[in-house]
Structures are given as structure tokens and as C-alpha cells.
């Protein structure tokens, strides 16, 4: 059985002091959880500070993006090697806000995945359709296009190191959560795509998170679905109480 993974994307929130308060409280709430992988993804400025707070605990650190180059004249950017050096184990790649507001392409996502893997970071690769695409029944076409672009020249050994996140754009930050059935349908499509392109073993092993308005009271229903292995959480990860409750409620699977 795949171990659930719950990751919190803090986006552009939290000063060091606020990060300290959130992490201290979260640690108390989930200190005895060993059957869920727990990840927090603070902004770059708080990574190394939070890394120190998480040392030897059951919460791992992730970043929200990376550049694909190792180093160079890329003002404002941060490399995968730097993220590793700051204490990260995970990195979110291809979040819809990066795609929408920073013109991130599937080609860029592909380069970033390769950079992350080269630096032993686990990429959390986001895919998802927007409302217009869903209404035109293009969801599967969009997902297929994003998967094909993201994993170009990624081999079977590499794909097994990746986490996927299905994040319907219309459900992010809107309070409009996909129903468990709507999410499951796309998760199943993704798992079938993985089986077709990388074989049954990879497809069975790879974890696929759902993201989009996940809250303490809807996570359990989502986790009951066969192909949903956890969540990527935005808004509700900014408070220890709600993020802790999502972690605890995600354990009900099985």
C-alpha cells in the first residue's frame, strides 16, 4: 500500500517569526505520526531556518520551485543544489500559479524535474486543467499533454522517484473542492498513463496527491478513493490546527 503524503505549500506567506510559530505548533500536533509523510514548503527566505527546526523529526522540508541550471547569472533564481544545501528533500514543480503567472511551460517543468533529480530532490509535479478546459471536456487531453511534456526523456528508474499532484486549477484557493469521484477519475487516468508509459510496477508505486481546497473535513472522503494518495494543501497549511488535522484525517484510508 502506498504511504499517504501530505504537503503544505505556504506560497508567499510567513515571516521567520510566523514560520516558527506554525512549525512549533505543528510539531506538537503530529509528533507521533509515522504512517503519513508530512512535508512543509515555506518561501525561500525561511527554508534554512525551518530546516533547523525540523531536524530529526517526522516533518520534511520542501521548496516551492527551482531553477533548472546549477548556477549562473539568473538574478532572483535559486537552484536545486542550493535547495538541497538548505535542507530540502522535496520541491514543487509546475504549480499552476507558476504556469499561469510566470509563463512556466511543460518544457521548463521537464528541465526542472531533471535538475531536481540530479540533486536528489523529490519533485512534486503538478498537473491540472482550468475551468474553461474542464467545461469543454478537455481535462484528459490537458493532463496527457502536461504529463507527456513534463516526463520527456525521464526513464523508468527516475519516474519512480517522483510524486504527482493533480490540482484542478478551478479548485485552487476557491473553496470549490473536486468531489472525490471527480478527483478519482483523473487520478485513475494518470495512473493508467503511467502504466502505459512506464509499466505496472511504476504505476502502482507512484503516489498521486490531490490539491484544491483540501480541508480537515474533506480529506478523509478523498483518501477513501483508490488512486488518491495524499494532498497538496495551500490555504489550510498556513495554520497548524488545520494542517495538523488534515494529516491526522488522511490516515483513515484502508
Active site residues: 95, 167
Find the helix or strand (DSSP H, E) in which 235 lies: none
Q: Are 194 and 155 in contact (CB under 8 A)?
A: no
3-state secondary structure of 54: helix
- The angle, 0 to 180 degrees and rounded to 10, between the axes of the packed helices 139-150 and 180-198 is 40
Determine, following the binding rule CB under 6 A, whether residue 172 of this chain makes contact with ligand PEP. yes
Binding to ligand PEP by CB under 6 A, coded x per residue (else -) over 184-223, reads ---------------------------xxxx---------
Q: 3-state DSSP: the chain helix, strand, coil percent, rounded to 5?
A: 50, 15, 35
Position 100 contacts ligand PEP (CB under 6 A): no
CB under 6 A: which stretch of 47-55, 58-66, 165-173, 190-198 binds ligand PEP? 165-173
Cβ at position 52, least distance to ligand PEP in Å: 25
d(CA 190, CA 210): 12
Task: Compute the least distance from the CB of residue 166 to ligand PEP, in Å.
Answer: 10
How far is it, in rounded angstroms, from Cα 30 to Cα 128? 29
Site for ligand PEP in 8-67 (CB under 6 A): 9
Q: Are 41 and 64 in contact (CB under 8 A)?
A: yes
Q: Is 127 in the site for ligand PEP (CB under 6 A)?
A: no
CB of residue 156 to ligand PEP, shortest distance in Å: 27
Per CB under 6 A, 143 contacts ligand PEP: no
Nearer to ligand PEP by C-beta: 30 or 172?
A: 172
With beta carbons less than 8 A apart as the criterion, state whether 197 and 150 touch.
Answer: no
Give me the residues that bind ligand PEP (CB under 6 A), please: 9, 167, 172-173, 211-214, 232-236
Amino acid at each position: 500500500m502506498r504511504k499517504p503524503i501530505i504537503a503544505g505549500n505556504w506560497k508567499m506567506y510567513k515571516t521567520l517569526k510566523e514560520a516558527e510559530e506554525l512549525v512549533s505548533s505543528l510539531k506538537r500536533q503530529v509528533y507521533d505520526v509515522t504512517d503519513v509523510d508530512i512535508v512543509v514548503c515555506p518561501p525561500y527566505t525561511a527554508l534554512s531556518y525551518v530546516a533547523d527546526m525540523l531536524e530529526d523529526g517526522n516533518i520534511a522540508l520542501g521548496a516551492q520551485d527551482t531553477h533548472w541550471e546549477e548556477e549562473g547569472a539568473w538574478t532572483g533564481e535559486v537552484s536545486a543544489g542550493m535547495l538541497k544545501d538548505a535542507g530540502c528533500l522535496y520541491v514543487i514543480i509546475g504549480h499552476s500559479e507558476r504556469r499561469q503567472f510566470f509563463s512556466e511551460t511543460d518544457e521548463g517543468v521537464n528541465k526542472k524535474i531533471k535538475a531536481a533529480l540530479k540533486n536528489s530532490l523529490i519533485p512534486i509535479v503538478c498537473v491540472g486543467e482550468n475551468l474553461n478546459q474542464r467545461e469543454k471536456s478537455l481535462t484528459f487531453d490537458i493532463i496527457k499533454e502536461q504529463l507527456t511534456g513534463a516526463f520527456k526523456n525521464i526513464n523508468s528508474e527516475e519516474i519512480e522517484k517522483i510524486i504527482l499532484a493533480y490540482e484542478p486549477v478551478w479548485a485552487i484557493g476557491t473553496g470549490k473542492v473536486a468531489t472525490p469521484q471527480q478527483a478519482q477519475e483523473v487520478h485513475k487516468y494518470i495512473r493508467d498513463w503511467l502504466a502505459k508509459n512506464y509499466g505496472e510496477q511504476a504505476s502502482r508505486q507512484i503516489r498521486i496527491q490531490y490539491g484544491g481546497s483540501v480541508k480537515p473535513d474533506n480529506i478523509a472522503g478523498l483518501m477513501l478513493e483508490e488512486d488518491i494518495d495524499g494532498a497538496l494543501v495551500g490555504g489550510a497549511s498556513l495554520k497548524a490546527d488545520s494542517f495538523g488535522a488534515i494529516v491526522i484525517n488522511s490516515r483513515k484510508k484502508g
